[in-house]
């Protein structure tokens, strides 16, 4: 027997299916050392994060010194995160990455809603 609620229940069911089918997200705190400021590496890292659809933030620490490093806290599905980390290790043509450290953390509640560069 059909009811007038059927279309709404179907729509609601599709919403929950889409929600449940999503891959679990992981959160990583990442530190990148090397030539990360002059070599426009920070711009490259931000572009890669946005291209992958990551959520979180990026910040250049000690930007004008030789000891500059990049700090990120990002969330993504695990396979996406692994690809992003590989790209960070490779860097762009103008950068020289000497060290990438990754600390996996629990996904925050509420999760990040977008990606931003912190000052």
Number of domains in the chain: 1
In a domain, 12, yes or no: no
In a domain, 36, yes or no: yes
Confidence of residue 15 (pLDDT cuts 50, 70, 90): very low
Confidence of residue 52 (pLDDT cuts 50, 70, 90): very high
Determine what percent of the chain is predicted with pLDDT higher than 70.
Answer: 76
In a domain, 6, yes or no: no
Place of tokens 């990754």: 102
In a domain, 78, yes or no: yes
- Per-residue pLDDT tens for 60-112? 887 666 677 899 999 999 999 999 999 999 988 888 889 999 999 988 777 78
In a domain, 76, yes or no: yes
In a domain, 117, yes or no: no
Give the DSSP letter of residue 42. Answer: H
Q: Are 55 and 112 in contact (CB under 8 A)?
A: yes
In a domain, 119, yes or no: no
């Amino acid at each position: 027997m059909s009811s007038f609620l059927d279309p709404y229940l179907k729509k609601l069911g599709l919403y929950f299916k889409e929600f449940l089918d999503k891959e679990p997200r992981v959160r990583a705190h990442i530190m990148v050392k090397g030539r990360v400021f002059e070599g426009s590496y920070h711009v490259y890292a931000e572009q890669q994060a946005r291209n992958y659809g990551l959520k979180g933030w990026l910040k250049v620490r000690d930007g004008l010194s030789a000891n500059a490093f990049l700090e990120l806290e990002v969330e993504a599905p695990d396979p996406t995160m692994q690809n992003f980390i590989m790209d960070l290790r490779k860097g762009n043509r103008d950068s020289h990455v000497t060290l990438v450290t990754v600390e996996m953390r629990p996904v925050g509640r509420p999760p990040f809603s977008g990606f931003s560069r912190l000052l």
